[in-house]
Amino acid sequence: MTINKEEVIDYNSLLIILNSAIYEFYFKTFGKKLGGSLYEYYPNTLMKLKIPTIKINKEEDLYKYFNLNDNEIKF
């Protein structure tokens, strides 16, 4: 899959990134919280989302990429 003209990412890495807890947290920062676990998203803000273009085999690889410690991961 091509993210932009210069970067290519495999589907497995993309799946792991998009399903990770850290990306869910990042994704929610772009939404408007309506209550409980309900968020509203607008296309213009979703277009600003970034996807790291690295090879990921498991979610722990993302933690290493962002240099997160155990306390940050638990948060």
pLDDT surpasses 80 at 22? yes
pLDDT tens column, 48-70: 888 877 778 888 888 888 888 88
Q: How far is CA 66 from CA 5, 33, 62, 72, in A?
A: 24, 25, 6, 10
Task: Tell me if 51 is assigned to some domain.
Answer: yes
Parent domain of 64? 11-74
Task: Tell me if 55 is assigned to some domain.
Answer: yes
Task: Tell me if 4 is assigned to some domain.
Answer: no
Task: Tell me if 62 is assigned to some domain.
Answer: yes
Three-state secondary-structure class, residue 32: strand
Backbone dihedral region for residue 54 (phi beyond 0: left; psi -120 to 50: alpha; all else: beta)? beta
Number of structural domains in the chain: 1
pLDDT given at position 3: 62
Supply the pTM of this predicted model: 0.65
Task: Tell me if 66 is assigned to some domain.
Answer: yes
Task: Tell me if 38 is assigned to some domain.
Answer: yes
The residue ranking higher by pLDDT, 68 or 2, is 68
Task: Tell me if 2 is assigned to some domain.
Answer: no
CB of 68 closer than 8 Å to CB of 18: no
pLDDT given at position 5: 67
CB of 51 closer than 8 Å to CB of 14: yes
List the end-to-end C-alpha distance of the chain, in Å, as a whole number.
Answer: 31
